Structures are given as structure tokens and as C-alpha cells.
Chains A and B, each alone.
Chain A
Amino acid sequence: MNQPFDQTASLRLINEMIANAKYKFSESDSYYFLFWGYFTLFVLVTFYVISTVLNPGWAHYTWFLFLGGSAFNILINRKVRSSKIVITQIDTVIAKLWKSFGISAIALLIAGFFIQWLVMPVLLTCIGIVLLAHGQIINFRAFQFGGLFCTLGALMGFVLGNDIRQLPIFAVCIIIGYIIPGHLLKAAGKSPGR
């Protein structure tokens, strides 16, 4: 494959190689969603237990568990990056998108001490935007649907205001936005015929 060749063949080869290098999601891409989905559910249960059984004033400290989650996310990221044999521009765009969301989420979780339960619909709005964008970038409908569902959940949350019913809404949104699409992505990543 190293002999000189003509101009038309050259152009055909370029097109063929560019088509080969198109983004294909892999099983490891689902790790982030499965981890954050189940971890968030765990945080929500902890939050519920503290606010109903213990002292409601302490409940917002539960958000700090996400800092531990972020540290674990770094480990997942290392594992995923090392498992990939190619990193496309789409991988980089998606990583930057979620990194930007992560920075906003930290600010929002601190804001939770001031805006109380309303932090959940604000977070859901951000999650909805990022999920919808992610779904459209990689053309994966489960994320697009999850993003729209989170936006709807955020709207319901704003209507409810400062109310503990924000918790089940948030939990359902996480299941539909992260956990189900995460499992679907894992299955799609395994399928050889993609």
C-alpha cells in the first residue's frame, strides 16, 4: 500500500479513510452514565433519609457526596481513555461539554444552601440541555429523549417550588436520562453490527 497512485484514487482513499474514522460509540462510553445514574440515586436516597428521619437542615450537606463522585469520575475517565484506541473530535467535544456542565453543577450544589429544593429543577435544566446536545451530537435518541424528559421534570420542579416532592421527580429524571440510556448505550456499544 505504499506505491504512488493516481489523483482520483487518491481522492477516493481520502474519502474512504475519513468515513472509517467517523465516531462510533463504544461500550466504555456508557460507564459515565451508569456510574452517575446509580450514584445520584444513592445520593437522593441519602438526602431523603437525612431530611425525613434526621435533621432536614443537614440534608443539603449530602450534595458534597458529589465531590467524591467527581474524584471517582477521574478514575473512570482514565480507564475509558486508555481503553480507546482512537479519540475523535466528537469524543473531545463531548468531554468538554460535560466538563463545562460539571463546573456549573459544583456552583449549583453550593447554591443549594440558599435556594433549597429549587436547586433540583435548575440542575435538571442543565442536565436536560447537555443530554439533548450529547444525544444530537452522537445521534443517540435515548439521550435526546432523556434530555427532553429532564427539561419537563425541571418545569414540574419549578411549579412545585420548595417541596420535598422534587426528590422523586429528580430520581425519575435520572433513571430516564442516565440509567436507561446508559444501559442502551452499553448494549449498542457491544453490538458488532453498528
Chain B
Amino acid sequence: MFKDLDPLLHSQLRLAVMSLLMSVEEADFVWLKEQTQATSGNLSVQLEKLNKAEYIQILKTFKGKYPQTICRKTKTGIAAFEQYILDLKQYINT
């Protein structure tokens, strides 16, 4: 019996963001935008969804005079990502 893949992660942009954050300690919004090639609006919406689910933490700060958004994965996010990989393996190995 296959487990359903986490719908929050089984979406291209949110999964891309989580995969990037899994490999780094923290990342700036601009860097995430560059790597995922998403639009600012779409990325903001998806980040907010991940933040609401407590998969990531969003910190709003300033870099000199300019506002800066920093994203970090949370323990819940790490656990969800690991579970997603396990579930994904089940699908792929069959």
C-alpha cells in the first residue's frame, strides 16, 4: 500500500525550495529566486505556504538599507522532507 506523497512538498517549486534549503544552513530570497528561476510573487506565495506549515522559518532583516528575507529549514521541515524521500523511494522501486 503506497503512502500518499506529502501534497505540500509534491509541488515543483516548494520541493525545489526545500531541496535547496536541505543543502544549506540558510538562504536569501534572491538566491532562492535565482536557483529556482521562479518569479518573486510565486516564490513568496510558496514560501509562505511552507512557513505556515512550519517547514521553514522566514526571517525578515536588513542588509544595509535594503530589506532582506532569509529562509531556514526547521526540524519539522527536515522530517517532512526525509519522509517524502522515503515515500518517493517506495514509488520508484516498484
Q: List chain A positions with a Cβ less than 8 A from chain B.
A: 1-5, 7-11, 13-14, 16-18, 20-22, 82, 85-89, 91-92
Contact = CB atoms under 8 A, between A and B. Distances in A.
Contacts of A3: 11-12
Contacts of B13: 1-2
B37 A18 contact: no
Please classify the interface of chain B as helix (H, G, I), strand (E, B), loop, or mixed, using the class held by over half of its residues: helix
A92 B10 CA distance: 30
15 contacts: A4-B11, A10-B5, A11-B92, A13-B16, A14-B85, A17-B19, A17-B35, A18-B19, A21-B23, A21-B27, A22-B23, A82-B64, A86-B28, A87-B24, A89-B23
A89 B63 CA distance: 22
A162 to B, nearest CB: 44
Interface of B: 5, 10-16, 19-20, 22-28, 30-31, 35-38, 42, 45-46, 63-64, 85, 88, 91-92
A15 B35 CA distance: 13
Contact of B12 (A1, A86, A89): A1
A92 B88 contact: no
Contact of A88 (B11, B24, B42, B46): B24
Contacts of B30: 85
Nearest to A92: B25
A1 B25 contact: no
Please classify the interface of chain A as helix (H, G, I), strand (E, B), loop, or mixed, using the class held by over half of its residues: helix
A86 B45 CA distance: 20
A3 B28 CA distance: 23
A2 B23 contact: no
A191 to B, nearest CB: 18
A10 B36 contact: no
B92 A1 contact: no
Contacts of A7: 5, 88, 91-92
Nearest to B10: A4
A17 B85 CA distance: 14
List of 10 A-B pairs having minimum Cβ-Cβ separation, nearest first: A21-B23, A17-B19, A85-B28, A85-B31, A1-B13, A87-B25, A7-B91, A86-B27, A2-B13, A14-B19
Given A2-B13, A11-B92, A85 B35 contact: no
B10 to A, nearest CB: 6
B42 A2 contact: yes
B5, B23, B28, B46 pick with most chain A CB within 10 angstroms: B23
Nearest to A82: B63
